């Protein structure tokens, strides 16, 4: 009796395995420090960020990190980080826009934060996490841990 495999299921299982391995290198403390560094100037008042804002930033950071790790596989074929960044430009733009619109929604009506400042902070935050994921994934491929 032969085993029938669905290639879509196999591809998804492989992607989940790679993502799990990448997420082992990521810590919540690192995410929190990055959040404070990138969005400290935008914080209003002395208290910490709202829980919802923190979670949204974490979600986008993790997605950008995993995307960078996924595109690091092209280093095997001789692509540079800049080439991979161009390849996934739409994904990165989507992450930036998602985070930017979330910040605008959070600040809606209050106008406590400049739109340009929010966008620049979101852009830098997403690029930071994409590059971080790319480097971790690249390291995994070079060490043959994939």
The reported pTM is 0.85
Q: In total, how many domains does the chain have?
A: 1
Q: Is residue 73 part of a domain?
A: yes
Q: What range does the domain containing 115 cover? A: 28-39+50-142
Which pLDDT score is estimated for 46? 42
pLDDT in tens, the chain (146 residues): 666 678 888 889 988 998 899 999 899 999 999 988 888 766 654 455 677 788 999 999 999 999 999 999 888 888 888 998 999 999 999 999 999 998 888 766 666 677 788 899 999 999 999 999 999 998 888 887 76
Enumerate long-range contacts of 27-34, CB under 8 Å, 24 or more apart.
Answer: 28/58, 31/57, 31/58, 31/61, 31/62, 34/61, 34/125, 34/128, 34/129
Which pLDDT score is estimated for 109? 64
Q: Is residue 114 part of a domain?
A: yes
């Amino acid at each position: 009796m032969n085993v029938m495999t669905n290639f879509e299921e196999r591809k998804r299982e492989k992607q989940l395995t790679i993502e799990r391995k990448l997420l082992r290198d990521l810590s919540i403390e690192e995410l929190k420090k990055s959040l404070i560094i990138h969005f400290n100037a935008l914080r209003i008042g002395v208290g910490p960020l709202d829980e919802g804002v923190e979670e949204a930033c974490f979600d986008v950071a993790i997605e950008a990190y995993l995307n960078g790790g996924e595109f690091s596989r092209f280093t095997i074929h001789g692509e540079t980080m800049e080439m991979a960044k161009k390849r996934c430009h739409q994904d990165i733009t989507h992450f930036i826009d998602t985070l930017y619109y979330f910040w605008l929604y959070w600040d809606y009506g209050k106008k406590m934060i400049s739109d340009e400042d929010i966008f620049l902070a979101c852009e830098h935050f997403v690029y930071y996490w994409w590059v971080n994921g790319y480097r971790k994934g690249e390291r995994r491929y070079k060490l043959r841990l994939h």
